[in-house]
Structure 1
């Protein structure tokens, strides 16, 4: 009887690892009979072993032959309740190592189905299937031919390596043969990483022509891999893309790049190299680095890698704790913009920062201090008269800066609900400036103190409908000096004015400029909140100054003795969101305005925005900007999803960018097709249209797709 139970356990574990065959088994049936030569179980036969269940019509154990015969239909169910093996007939040999099933279907990891006339398995974990049809697609009653399938004379599944080998394989799409392979190897669904070809990508572009990239993935152990992607086109473009990844105990690195040639720049080697990594260091420090290199200004756009037009290579050591931040970094910038010469840009920068926050002793409140050192260099050592026409007198300027700042803030709440806040701050900067005739080789020292008092009076009321209404007027008085000597401005060229910095001591984004002059910041905000309903809110505010220090350009909305009016509104409910903000003067002339609409539903999403900016030549914006952008996707029914993106310039009445795409994704295949059109051009870059096609077979190599519902038909 012991031998019988081991045979039953082995049969029950046909879809699992061989080691499971050592578990004991239990037999249940409507009728069990035995004699001197055999034992027979019939009627609703069930065998339980290692959490699995085997169901069959009849089971016979031949004592003299030490062999088990099972008559079907046979079904093996794993602990999760999914059938992993179905057969019509099975027999197990006396050595407990070999099993043969006829008319069987094997399901691996509930994804890949292999139907075969016969399945044979030995105790080494090797399963052989004969006259096989394999697919990850659902086979539907009214459409018995799946979207794709592989027919093969023999298939070998090796559990230890997670590989499936096909002999004399034929790949079919909707039953039509499209490719033949004498030998084909595929990773099993349980195999997450294995060397082999990845899904190819077909593209078509006005400049590069029609091309194909065929990536090949190579594992280099459990923590490293490399992907090589040869790319060829009809317009003589040839390149080799690559990606290298490695994980360490304390970090990881990734390197991406490509090198090749094309007819866009004949006779030149073109390519790029992007690398990044993160490592943990002792005492909770962290090392981050990224490297961004490219051979020419248009390569990244030509090959659709990124639209980034200013590259930055950086290495940094940092530590961030609850009350402290430490940072040391070095950055090299590389501008790809037309008209910008890297020799005359502050493209080399070093920063060292330490910040700390603490409970202020004695008078209470929160205190903070920071120390920063910074060096900005231009590669050029001198700007010639010819260069000065393009770069200005600062064309070769180098700047070193040391800064120290202190901040203290404390709030009180009165019995009537009035929130009273005091704040004090001081900023000290020392600059060393060279190679700039406007400053000479000069040392400039500056100190800017601030004092502020703020009053808030939040008022809340709950309406009869359960809505909570909150109204909060705010007045903030800031005392600051009217004049200070200004160093060169390189990090504060684009100040912003919005609800996020309405009550800030300074609205300049960097340290080269400190907002001067005493002023009053005024604002009032309102919000209406309903549980599972609409959330509505808005803020209106303005800055009133004692005088005009002349620090802000007209295009910022902060110039003059009184700033423009700031208006911000938002509305949200479920997947719908609307946000709008605007700056306008007393005559209701808008300086800038932005409206953002977002919607996410069960079948799609929409993200669209309109931006209006008044012209500002000093900010590099010689004409007004009025642009509408759209990014949307929507389920078209079944397994089809459509995508669209659009960018339109209302000033020139021309589109600048447009794209359409469609995805067909099922439990067994994913097809993506995209069309992109770039309308803008410059002396180095022509308008172009590109097409992309990618086909991926799902359910192989550990791809996660079980959350997708199986469907029948298109």
Structure 2
């Protein structure tokens, strides 16, 4: 049979008057007389953004109606699809009555009904004796994981809401809840006021309870989430999150407030305030404010493991060749035995950096100007406390760091390095410095030699690069109040640095040689394997570095770093520092393994004991976070932290997730083994259930199926 194509056919005069654009009909066969038009065989009608597909369509001219014999499919422009056995439609395909029909919204939620009716304006769709589910509504008696049955369901296209009358919620066909009225967002709505998925929990300290978040939209740029939490042990808490977007910035406030039996009669809670706002001339105002009612709140409510808070307000600007920051930071320690009165809790810094290319000597220079102050709350040193317990410091600094490279014909890269760091201090409330104002200057100069060597074998490339650095700096320096350089580290990132100290209070002194050799292999298959070995040799040991850092003595420990990676699926990095006798002072190993149905992230850390750093014994710790697909829609999770010195676990957890096309169920159990004077070991359980198909989400679309 020849396929007939009618372009821009005026399907009927009434439709032509009602629509801004005509309807288009495509069919294998068209028959018509003065009273009716009959189209048959792969019929398609396009009208005002809607598409009707059927085997036979009859237009009744006198009634201005379209009768459609199914099976038929009616596709709307807003990702709504109607499937039915029979339909009676208006000429513009808006007003309709469909029998034995099913409505599919955004390929996420489907509603089956005995009858579906749409008004002429197309805003409301009413479904009678209906059942809704984002799981497949199966044939032959099978039931989906969950479904909602209702006497009537109304879909409001304009508000993108779904209303249920006399709703009954069923799980695996078993009724579990009855609701006379229910409102839920349709799958195309990203933000809507209403209840979110609840979370159930059980804890040794707080008891068994439930968190029921309620989301409130406050316009297109603001929203508020309230999360009441109640338990059987009289714990009452109200969590909250407020978010607002501005034309030039954003604001987010999160926190909670409540009472419990742990601190009976006291109000407990926390608040975090984060935001950024764009100022003129590319400056930014950034703030991050943090506060908590007591030291144990975060751990007891499983919010975070942080043991120090840092509230920060800053104005900053960063571009290609300059950086400016003016910031104030307020530190608050939550650690047992550490008093906020005797730590530098108030810190103010103003810093300007710039990068230039000097015309006279060439190369590149980085200059820095900084004003810095830190203050302790204590105004005097209490008996029995260290002499610096009340120390306040003001520091003004200026620095310039320069380097320039030349490449010889042999491929040898010569780099000249030099710099000068100037600092002026005013120290108060520390008898060691006797309220002194003093200055210091630390110049340095250096020469670096690199000889990169490359070998190619087919598509594989290997690079071997020995590096030798000579640094010259003074051997003595006025004593300074060191508080920002207390924990120097030795790794591949600073092996060839002018100074191993991260801050400005202490600069590395003395003449020394930094040497090392690196190797990297780039394989065409995606593998990348490399390593670095090196050490530092000094003219004299000046006692700047503590034992345990790997940097003390005339010669540092050997640094060995080895890494391997395969695209984004496998990453291995291990680094160690050890002396000539093979005794390891520090070792770290990290492994990340990612696959389609599994993930592994594990680290091992060993640190030699260092009493001056607050670590009287060795640290040997292993952490693990892993997940694996268990088949079907099930995923198992595990996390672990183990201390090899005490042969005890610090924490452990197991989790199980069921995630299908229509539902997510998360169950987890966590155990904290550590204890303090105010905390005892505890076990907690958590359960959360989320239904797909209501409200927009980033869940990947999966093949639909019935049952578990």
What TM-score do the two structures reach when normalised by structure 1? Answer: 0.95
Whether contact under 8 Å (1:143, 1:713) holds in the other structure is no
C-alpha spacing 1:450/1:711, structure 2 compared with 1 (3 Å) = farther
Q: In 1, Cα distance between the equivalents of 2:190 and 2:584?
A: 56
**From 288, 301, 305, the counterpart of 1:290:** 288
Deviations, residues 511-558 of structure 1 (Å, cap 9, x unaligned): 111000000111111112211143221111110001011100011111
**From 630, 653, 656, the counterpart of 1:662:** 656
**From 490, 494, 497, the counterpart of 1:501:** 494
Whether contact under 8 Å (1:5, 1:24) holds in the other structure is no
Q: Does 1:594 align with 2:588?
A: yes
Q: Kindly state the Cα deviation for residue 95 of structure 1 after the two structures are TM-superposed.
A: 9.9
Q: In 2, Cα distance between the equivalents of 1:166 and 1:23?
A: 35
Aligned to 2:3: none
Deviations, residues 284-304 of structure 1 (Å, cap 9, x unaligned): 001110110000000011111
Q: Does 1:419 align with 2:419?
A: no
Whether contact under 8 Å (2:345, 2:377) holds in the other structure is yes
C-alpha spacing 1:22/1:85, structure 2 compared with 1 (3 Å) = farther
Aligned to 2:275: 277
Whether contact under 8 Å (1:7, 1:92) holds in the other structure is no
Trace 1:343-422 onto structure 2 (pairs within 5 A).
343-385=341-383, 389=384, 391-422=385-416
Q: Kindly state the Cα deviation for residue 509 of structure 1 after the two structures are TM-superposed.
A: 1.0
Whether contact under 8 Å (1:75, 1:83) holds in the other structure is no
Q: In 1, Cα distance between the equivalents of 2:395 and 2:173?
A: 71
Q: Kindly state the Cα deviation for residue 692 of structure 1 after the two structures are TM-superposed.
A: 0.8
**From 513, 532, 536, the counterpart of 2:506:** 513
Whether contact under 8 Å (1:6, 1:25) holds in the other structure is no
Q: Kindly state the Cα deviation for residue 34 of structure 1 after the two structures are TM-superposed.
A: 2.3
Q: In 1, Cα distance between the equivalents of 2:142 and 2:674?
A: 50
Aligned to 2:88: 91
Q: Kindly state the Cα deviation for residue 602 of structure 1 after the two structures are TM-superposed.
A: 1.7
Q: In 2, Cα distance between the equivalents of 1:455 and 1:492?
A: 28
**From 655, 672, 675, the counterpart of 1:678:** 672
Partner of 1:685: helix, strand, or coil?
coil
Partner of 1:703: helix, strand, or coil?
coil
Q: In 1, Cα distance between the equivalents of 2:312 and 2:353?
A: 21
Q: Kindly state the Cα deviation for residue 571 of structure 1 after the two structures are TM-superposed.
A: 1.6
Q: Does 1:110 align with 2:107?
A: yes
Aligned to 1:610: 604
Whether contact under 8 Å (1:475, 1:523) holds in the other structure is yes
Q: Kindly state the Cα deviation for residue 41 of structure 1 after the two structures are TM-superposed.
A: 2.1
C-alpha spacing 1:347/1:330, structure 2 compared with 1 (3 Å) = same
Trace 1:205-354 onto structure 2 (pairs within 5 A).
205-354=203-352
Deviations, residues 158-215 of structure 1 (Å, cap 9, x unaligned): 1111111100000011111000100000001111111000000001111001110101
Partner of 1:394: helix, strand, or coil?
coil
Whether contact under 8 Å (2:628, 2:636) holds in the other structure is yes
Moved more, 430-439 or 574-583: 574-583
Whether contact under 8 Å (1:86, 1:106) holds in the other structure is yes
**From 619, 627, 637, the counterpart of 1:633:** 627
Q: Does 1:536 align with 2:544?
A: no
5+ long unaligned stretches in structure 2: 1-8
**From 614, 629, 647, the counterpart of 1:620:** 614
C-alpha spacing 1:688/1:5, structure 2 compared with 1 (3 Å) = farther
Whether contact under 8 Å (1:7, 1:96) holds in the other structure is no
**From 690, 703, 706, the counterpart of 2:684:** 690
Q: Does 1:441 align with 2:445?
A: no
Q: Kindly state the Cα deviation for residue 639 of structure 1 after the two structures are TM-superposed.
A: 1.1
**From 555, 566, 570, the counterpart of 1:562:** 555
Q: Kindly state the Cα deviation for residue 277 of structure 1 after the two structures are TM-superposed.
A: 0.4
Q: In 2, Cα distance between the equivalents of 1:254 and 1:6?
A: 54
Whether contact under 8 Å (1:315, 1:331) holds in the other structure is yes
Q: In 2, Cα distance between the equivalents of 1:554 and 1:674?
A: 42
Q: Does 1:548 align with 2:545?
A: no
**From 137, 140, 162, the counterpart of 1:139:** 137
Trace 1:65-84 onto structure 2 (pairs within 5 A).
65-77=63-75, 84=81
Aligned to 1:155: 153
Q: Kindly state the Cα deviation for residue 33 of structure 1 after the two structures are TM-superposed.
A: 2.1
Whether contact under 8 Å (2:24, 2:47) holds in the other structure is yes
C-alpha spacing 1:95/1:441, structure 2 compared with 1 (3 Å) = closer
Whether contact under 8 Å (1:9, 1:23) holds in the other structure is no
Q: Kindly state the Cα deviation for residue 4 of structure 1 after the two structures are TM-superposed.
A: 2.4
Q: In 2, Cα distance between the equivalents of 1:316 and 1:6?
A: 66
C-alpha spacing 1:5/1:258, structure 2 compared with 1 (3 Å) = farther
Q: Kindly state the Cα deviation for residue 6 of structure 1 after the two structures are TM-superposed.
A: 6.5
Whether contact under 8 Å (1:667, 1:710) holds in the other structure is yes
Moved more, 476-485 or 155-164: 155-164
Trace 1:459-478 onto structure 2 (pairs within 5 A).
459-463=453-457, 466-478=459-471
Whether contact under 8 Å (2:289, 2:310) holds in the other structure is yes
Deviations, residues 118-165 of structure 1 (Å, cap 9, x unaligned): 111113311111111111112345773111111100111111111111
Partner of 1:301: helix, strand, or coil?
helix
Q: In 2, Cα distance between the equivalents of 1:523 and 1:321?
A: 33
5+ long unaligned stretches in structure 1: 11-20
Aligned to 2:12: 4
Q: In 2, Cα distance between the equivalents of 1:426 and 1:711?
A: 70
Moved more, 26-35 or 355-364: 26-35
Whether contact under 8 Å (1:5, 1:26) holds in the other structure is no
